[in-house]
Structure 1
Amino acid sequence: MTRWLLPAGVAGGLVALTSMALAPGSDLRVTGVTPDLARGEAIYAEACAACHGANLQGEPDWRTPGPDGRLPAPPHDATGHTWHHPDRLLLDITLHCTAAVVGGGYESNMPGFAGDYSEDALKDVLAWIKTQWPEEQRIYQANATARDEQNRAN
């Protein structure tokens, strides 16, 4: 197998070109911000990996409520459902917590991080998570975001 080593600028440009070719809005930006992927990866390791896993694998039995009645942390990889949701919903959950976004008395162990990180920093985390998905999931999620943006515009 041949491996290619590219200068960082070239590799970054290829990532941007590849992501733009996936589907309208499927680049790594979250709500229009060009991401700092290194910062996103570092924040994920610091604030998210303890529950969602260093490899985005989530907690075991994440679809089954635990003894406290709350669902364990879901995976953020292709086996989970994160990629089913548009950027705005993912950002709102990350900023304000799942319970605040879902409402109706829903309880979750997912905290909001608005008091700990800026919105742009959390967008970087979400963008980094996107880089870990296969192309099919990235396309699906980009289309979910585009539909959401279209609905919000109407």
Structure 2
Amino acid sequence: MTTLKRSLWLAGIVLGAGVALFQVLGLSSSEDYISPDDTERVLRGRQVYAQNCAACHGAQLQGQPDWRRRRDDGRLPAPPHDASGHTWHHADDVLLDITRHGLVPGRTAPDGYHSDMPAYVDILSDDDIVAVIAYIKSTWPEAERQAQKEVTLQSRP
């Protein structure tokens, strides 16, 4: 196989893997960032959030009281998703993974960590999860939105 053919073959594999990754993450290849600017998606996300997330993370995305202090069982209370929390520090793929599968020790949480965050993979569709993330982002000030977007885009292959 010539060097050119080998390079084209390798590029095809990399491109295919990238497309598969976007599909696994619930994003299309034309959408490498979950935008908070899609009004319809944000409205759907607000509704899904109210029904599935607000009980722990707060109706105003404020999180549970003393969310940085471990409870007696060693677990942390639900953090806020507003700008005062750390949600905006994470790339979209991490937010999707946490929402789908909960906090998984060694993957999205420290080894040995236990969390009350449930997995929503069998409860919410990927479209609903993406809508919730778009809604949460829509509440952030512009500086946090831009910082989170940069983190997301830098995490892409």
Q: For the superposition of Structure 1 and Structure 2, which TM-score range results when normalised by the shorter chain?
A: 0.7 to 0.9
Partner of 1:95: 100
Shift of 1:26: 7.5
Q: Is this contact kept in 2: 1:51–1:58, CA < 8 A?
A: yes
Does 1:122 pair with 2:129? yes
Query: Distance between the aligned counterparts of 1:25 and 1:122, measured in 2?
Result: 14
Query: Distance between the aligned counterparts of 1:37 and 1:131, measured in 2?
Result: 7
Residues 62 and 143 (structure 1), Cα distance of their counterparts in 2 relative to 1, 3 Å cut: same
Shift of 1:25: 5.0
- Give % identity: 48
Superposition CA RMSD, Å = 2.2
Does 1:113 pair with 2:120? yes
SS state of the match for residue 131, structure 2? helix
Query: Distance between the aligned counterparts of 1:58 and 1:36, measured in 2?
Result: 22
Query: Distance between the aligned counterparts of 1:81 and 1:35, measured in 2?
Result: 25
The structure 2 residue matched to 1:136, chosen from 109, 128, 143, is 143
Does 1:45 pair with 2:50? yes
Q: Is this contact kept in 2: 1:56–1:76, CA < 8 A?
A: yes
Residues 51 and 148 (structure 1), Cα distance of their counterparts in 2 relative to 1, 3 Å cut: same
The runs of 5 or more residues in structure 1 that have no matched partner are 1-23
Partner of 2:8: none
Query: Distance between the aligned counterparts of 2:76 and 2:131, measured in 1?
Result: 25
Please list every run of at least 4 consecutive aligned residues from structure 1 whose deviation after the TM superposition is greater than 6 angstroms: none
SS state of the match for residue 69, structure 1? coil
Query: Distance between the aligned counterparts of 1:35 and 1:85, measured in 2?
Result: 23
Partner of 1:28: 36
Q: TM-score, normalised by structure 2?
A: 0.73
| Higher Rg of the two aligned structures | 2
Q: Deviations over 1:58-97 (max 9, x none)?
A: 0011011111110000000010000000000000000000
The runs of 5 or more residues in structure 2 that have no matched partner are 1-31
Q: Which amino acid aligns with 2:124?
A: Y
Partner of 2:5: none
